[in-house]
């Protein structure tokens, strides 16, 4: 292991150069991937060499396969204990990772993947655990619950991945995550993926990683989402009208609208339904089974408008969201980045609209400063249009 650290593996240009099994290569081909993304090219060989890794990469760069491929390559099929764990901050993200791993594992006979998250009956998950999965994808709270009930043992864990580590730790999972890591062998491989680094991530890294390798991926020109960001100056009681105006332009087949509260999300959904639009919502109080139905239907294009809170939408990968609308401005700058990152994925162009009241224009300025300071992604096609007095305005959609 130490050898490979002194001798960094070359960064491969193709999947074929990566020493992957035929089963994985066939699955990658079925998924339609021809070349590895930058984060995949950097992470896969390093992770397969056994190194602990701290990777910082923007959303939409293909992180799931970056850790998913090495995890599946490692699994010892005859060993029926849990060997590989991914922790994710939300149920939706856990499910999405589970789906991606299942696709990657299509030709590997005998690999079992279980997804554990709050909101699903625990009994169903107990039966999944009885099938002795080698790979677990979980949200921290539910995994801990299973550990406390003695349903799962982590003493044979080889690799542990924290996906969206920054967000997970921000959401108050520090204690849970720490307890879970402490239940794994101290020589397990620990791999952290974040969009940005923060103190909690550094602390976990410092406490639990051994000579970690750092990987930083900046969005390259090709990877860079092309997102035109618009600000629409409005008033509180005119927001709906502006929104309807946007929707009536009928330009976008698939849109996400973000609100800050569950209440507003519900209220806006009923209003749009009443106006005859086909819209559904997800937030923390919507039952998990219902959230899954809504997400699947949205992915399949069964309805065009998904209304969501930040937490419920975190990390969700839906191809072809053409427009993101901020009905409310997010209270966290980073959320803005994550929200508009729902569009412009996979090298497509995207557009975002923020409905901003005069009171919110101060927040909008803060967000813009934050965005300009990002080493990231953004392409300000139209930049933000402003009135002479500096307040944002919008015209001519
Ligand atoms: P991240 O976790 O970095 O936000 P994801 O893992 O969700 O990114 O991947 C974003 C999208 O890119 C997914 O739809 C995924 O299937 C696709 N993708 C991943 N790797 C590749 C690749 N090598 N070539 C083309 N598309 C890819
Ligand atoms: Mg991801």
What's residue 115's pLDDT?
96
Which of the ligands is closest to the CA of residue 317? Answer: 1
Q: What is this structure's pTM?
A: 0.66
Reference 159, options 179, 132, 181, 176; nearest CA is 181
DSSP secondary structure, 135-201, as one string: EEEE-HHHHHHHHHTTS---TT--EEEETTHHHHIIIIIHHHHHHHHHTS-TTSEEEEEESS--HHH
- In this structure, of 46-50, 118-122, 264-268, 349-353, the range with the lowest mean pLDDT score is 349-353
How far apart CA 366 and CA 387 sit, in angstroms, is 17
How far apart CA 296 and CA 302 sit, in angstroms, is 9
Work out the average pLDDT over 34-48.
91
Confidence band for 387, pLDDT divided at 50, 70 and 90: very low
- In this structure, of 2-11, 25-34, 110-119, 173-182, the range with the lowest mean pLDDT score is 2-11
Atom of ligand 1 nearest to the CA of 164: 2
- The average confidence (pLDDT) of the chain is 86
What's residue 282's pLDDT?
92
Residues whose beta carbon lies within 6 Å of some atom of ligand 1: 33, 36-37, 40, 57, 59-65, 317, 319, 346
- In this structure, of 77-81, 123-127, 285-289, 317-321, the range with the lowest mean pLDDT score is 317-321
- In this structure, of 136-150, 214-228, 270-284, 308-322, the range with the lowest mean pLDDT score is 214-228
The alpha-helical segments, DSSP class H, found in 275-379 are 288-299, 310-313, 333-340, 361-373
Residues lying with their CB under 5 A of ligand 2, a single-atom ion: 63
Q: Please report how the helices 333-340 and 361-373 are oriented relative to each other, as an axis angle in degrees rounded to 10.
A: 70
What's residue 372's pLDDT?
65
In a mutational test of the pocket of ligand 1, which residue from 15, 62, 86 has the highest number of ligand atoms less than 8 Å from its CB? 62
For 159-189, the pLDDT digits (tens) are: 999 999 998 998 889 999 999 999 999 999 9
Q: Taking the CB of residue 172, how many other CB atoms lie within 10 A of it?
A: 10
Asked if residue 375 has pLDDT above 60, the reply is no
């Amino acid at each position: 292991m130490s050898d490979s650290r002194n001798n960094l593996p070359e960064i491969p240009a193709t999947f074929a150069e990566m020493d992957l099994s035929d089963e994985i290569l066939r699955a990658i081909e079925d998924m339609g991937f021809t070349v590895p993304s930058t984060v995949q090219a950097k992470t896969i060989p390093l992770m397969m060499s056994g190194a602990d890794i701290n990777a910082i990469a923007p959303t939409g760069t293909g992180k799931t396969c970056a850790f998913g491929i090495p995890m599946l390559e490692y699994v010892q099929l005859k060993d029926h204990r849990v060997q590989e764990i991914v922790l994710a901050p939300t149920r939706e993200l856990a499910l999405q990772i589970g789906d991606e791993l299942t696709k990657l594992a299509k030709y590997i006979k005998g690999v079992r993947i279980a997804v554990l998250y709050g909101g699903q009956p625990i009994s169903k998950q107990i039966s999944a655990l009885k099938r002795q999965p080698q790979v677990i994808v979980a949200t921290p709270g539910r995994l801990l619950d299973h550990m406390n009930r003695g349903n799962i043992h982590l003493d044979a864990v080889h690799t542990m991945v924290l996906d969206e580590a920054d967000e997970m730790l921000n959401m108050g999972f520090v204690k849970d995550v720490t307890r879970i890591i402490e239940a794994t062998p101290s020589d397990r491989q620990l791999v952290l993926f974040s969009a940005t680094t923060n103190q909690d991530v550094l602390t976990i890294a410092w406490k639990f990683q051994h000579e970690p390798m750092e990987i930083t991926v900046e969005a390259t020109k090709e990877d860079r989402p092309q997102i035109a960001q618009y600000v629409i100056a409005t008033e509180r009681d005119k927001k709906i009208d502006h929104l309807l105006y946007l929707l009536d332009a009928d330009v976008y087949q698939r849109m996400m609208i973000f609100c800050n509260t569950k209440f507003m999300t519900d209220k806006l959904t009923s209003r749009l339904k009443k106006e005859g639009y086909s819209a559904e919502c997800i937030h923390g109080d919507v039952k998990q089974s219902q959230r899954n139905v809504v997400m699947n239907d949205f992915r399949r294009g069964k309805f065009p408008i998904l209304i969501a809170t930040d937490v419920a939408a975190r990390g969700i990968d839906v191809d072809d969201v053409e427009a993101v609308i901020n009905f409310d401005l997010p209270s966290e700058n980073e959320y803005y980045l994550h929200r508009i990152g729902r569009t412009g994925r996979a090298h497509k162009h995207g557009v975002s609209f923020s409905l901003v009241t005069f009171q919110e224009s101060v927040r909008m300025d803060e967000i813009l400063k934050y965005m300009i300071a990002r080493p990231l992604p953004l392409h300000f096609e139209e930049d933000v249009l402003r009135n002479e007095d500096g307040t944002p305005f919008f015209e001519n959609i």
